[in-house]
Structure 1
Amino acid sequence: MSQILTQHIPALEGMKKYPSSLFYKGNLELLQRPKVSIVGTRRPSNYTRQCTYTLANALAKRGVCVVSGAAMGVDTIAHAGAGEENTIAVVANGLDIRYPAVNQSLIAGIETKGLVLSQFNDGFRATGWSFVVRNELVVALGDILIVTEADLNSGSMRSVEYALKMGKEIFVLPQRLDESLGTNQLLQTKNAIAIHDIETFASMFGKVADDGLEKDDFFYFCQKSPTFEESLKEFGDRVYEAEFEGIITIQNGIVRLS
């Protein structure tokens, strides 16, 4: 059964109007992690499929939570690449409905291990306008927006409009000249940055944790490269212990994972 989300989410202040209600199933702790929104076409090319999966997986390994819309195509691949425990699915219907039907198993897994959000009451069935509402929430939650493939005048390009209004950086995959005309246009107008190497791009969010390093709140906090003062305020002596153990380094007042 869905629950009402009562905590304030600062990232949503960039929306045209802060949601009057939010419903959820799953782990609200994901809201505290670095987040990247990934969107794109429902009919991706094999190249886009492979790159989207690899990209989501590389981000998740660095403690980043991948946000998408649970639709077929790029959304599905982004959720799967990140893993159910590292993803937030935003849906355009009530949470008692798992839509689209083909993704029922995926959505059920995210409800259990990740987080599913909706602005709609139980019983509400998706409509054209509710997908638009869903798209704005997907964009708002992410620190940045990645569009892996999109046609002109597509839903993904409307998501881009939200990102531009919110002042978020937009990244795209480089595509062939006659494919993904929407993302190619974003590069031409210099409204987006091309991801030429996935590992290099993902490394902006920190390093991959060794198997022996627990991915706890401290790990996710340090992935954001906080200041030494911010770290002390949040975790106190844990900062000194982590430095002594070689888990972190402190350079020029910035804390980073070693």
Structure 2
Amino acid sequence: MPASSISNDTDSRAVNDADRHCASNSTGLSQSDWLCLSFLSSIGPARLSRLYTYLSQLHQHVTSDQDDNLSLFHHADTPKTISYDLLRALKWPDITARQAVDYLSHGTLTKEQATKRDESLAWLEEDDHHLLLREDEYYPLALREISVAPAFLYVEGNRDALALPKIGIVGARKCTRYGRETTFLLAEQLASCGICVVSGGALGIDTAAHQGALQSKTTPTIVVMGTGLLHRYPNQNRALFDDILERGGALISEYPLSTSPRPHLFPPRNRIISGLSMGVLVAEASLKSGSLISANYAVQQNREVFALPGRLTDLQSAGCHQLLRQGATLVRQVDDILAECPELPTTGKTSARPAGHQTTKKTAPDSRSHSTQNAPALTSGRSHSLPESTSDNAKAVVAIMEQEAQPMDFDALIRHSKMDAGLMMQVLIELELYGCVENREGLYGRC
């Protein structure tokens, strides 16, 4: 790398060093440090999340006098002693690990990285601009507990909105009039009940969800952006985003401020939509819709999954119908959502709950298979191997299936495993998400 492209400003480093000593989070790194790490080559939310988790857990061990866990550190000054070997063990690429060590040891940044740091720090000086590390009091607890929780969030607007009870709403960009109008109505009713609607700010269903929430004029709405906050996307919704901020809502993102729209950045933000929420409503989706990714994340995060039914011949509702077949809660009115999430407030006007409506918790579906037509036979071919992260209960169920060597129904699996129905359903969802088990007309088998 040419010397002219390196910034090694002594004054900036001195400021950063002073800031580090004032760091209030358990990682030992300051906001400025985390910002700079997020600008490194080939970095991403998952790698930052792993480092944050490791340092936080290390801090817990240190405070419990378990100093033997410091083997990858040279001494107790965290920012200056994170080693290259540690970062490689956390699956950071070689170039990223080297840049991180150079920054933490010498304050070394490229000119581009230094510019991004300065722009970000200047942005944070403005009113209602925030950077929330995981341990910040405003960082939502529910989001903190998900897998690959963002190390930090950029927030523009009202941080207090993050503390409200939340429901995520996702769906097709090219939605039907029915989908748009029904989503608008449900979002308005949810907001009237004091529930914050969370969505992605995209055209179609997302827009209808935010607009409906604004229509209630009672509860703010939150947009989870798939870009940096300096590149609000899509451009057509700029006025909507301004409206959301003026009404006490918030725009949030895990990406650096200057991050421009890129297709691969939008799917990961869906885990934040579901992670913030008690449940996710898929309002309209085809079998190949990216909205099913949100349902998938909701399953992994143990959130409720809701689906809005449509016409049988409408391809834009085929994904919702698949979710319903797999166990999602059918939504006819807002009370169907409230009934499945007892923690949600129920103030405001809603339609009466139908007689005999059941509130038994339903299992959330997976979106791994976009089409049932191309699904493999239950017992054909070589079975997929189990990931290392597979739970012990899931391994036990797979062992039963392999021993029986034939598809088994739900009751048979319960009898053989002696698990209760709730646990069995969680295990089957886990295995379906891994692609190791498939459900064909109520019979489960290896695939």
* Structure number having the greater strand percentage: 1
SS at match of 2:228: coil
Residue matched to 2:274: 139
Residue matched to 1:246: none
Match of 1:196 among 319, 323, 332: 332
SS at match of 1:25: strand
Residue matched to 1:86: 220
For 2:174 and 2:181, how far apart are their aligned partners in 1? Answer: 13
The question of 1:9 aligning with 2:140 is answered: yes
Residue matched to 1:127: 262
Q: How does 1:52-63 map to 2 (within 5 A)?
A: 52-63=183-194
Identity in percent? 36
The question of 1:27 aligning with 2:169 is answered: no
For 1:144 and 1:200, how far apart are their aligned partners in 2? Answer: 12
Match of 2:245 among 94, 111, 118: 111
Number of equivalences: 208
Assess if the C-alpha contact under 8 Å between 2:330 and 2:336 holds in 1: no
Assess if the C-alpha contact under 8 Å between 2:306 and 2:337 holds in 1: no
Assess if the C-alpha contact under 8 Å between 1:12 and 1:141 holds in 2: yes
Deviation at 1:14, TM superposition (A): 4.1
- What is the one-letter code of the residue matched to 1:189? Q
Match of 2:318 among 181, 186, 196: 181
List gaps (5 residues or longer) in structure 1.
Answer: 210-258
Change (3 A) 1:128 1:200: closer
Deviation at 1:201, TM superposition (A): 4.2
Deviation at 1:9, TM superposition (A): 2.1
SS at match of 1:96: coil
SS at match of 2:239: helix
For 1:200 and 1:158, how far apart are their aligned partners in 2? Answer: 22
Change (3 A) 1:200 1:15: closer
Structure 1-normalised TM-score? 0.76
Which structure exhibits the higher relative contact order, with contacts defined as CA atoms closer than 8 Å and separated by 6 or more residues? 1
Deviation at 1:87, TM superposition (A): 0.2
SS at match of 1:196: coil
Q: How does 1:197-236 map to 2 (within 5 A)?
A: 197-199=333-335, 201-202=337-338, 205-208=345-348
Assess if the C-alpha contact under 8 Å between 1:58 and 1:199 holds in 2: no
Deviation at 1:123, TM superposition (A): 1.0
Q: What value does the CA root-mean-square deviation take over the aligned residues?
A: 1.8
Assess if the C-alpha contact under 8 Å between 1:68 and 1:138 holds in 2: yes
Structure 2-normalised TM-score? 0.45
For 2:302 and 2:149, how far apart are their aligned partners in 1? Answer: 16
Residue matched to 1:100: 234
List gaps (5 residues or longer) in structure 2.
Answer: 1-122, 124-128, 350-447
Residue matched to 1:232: none
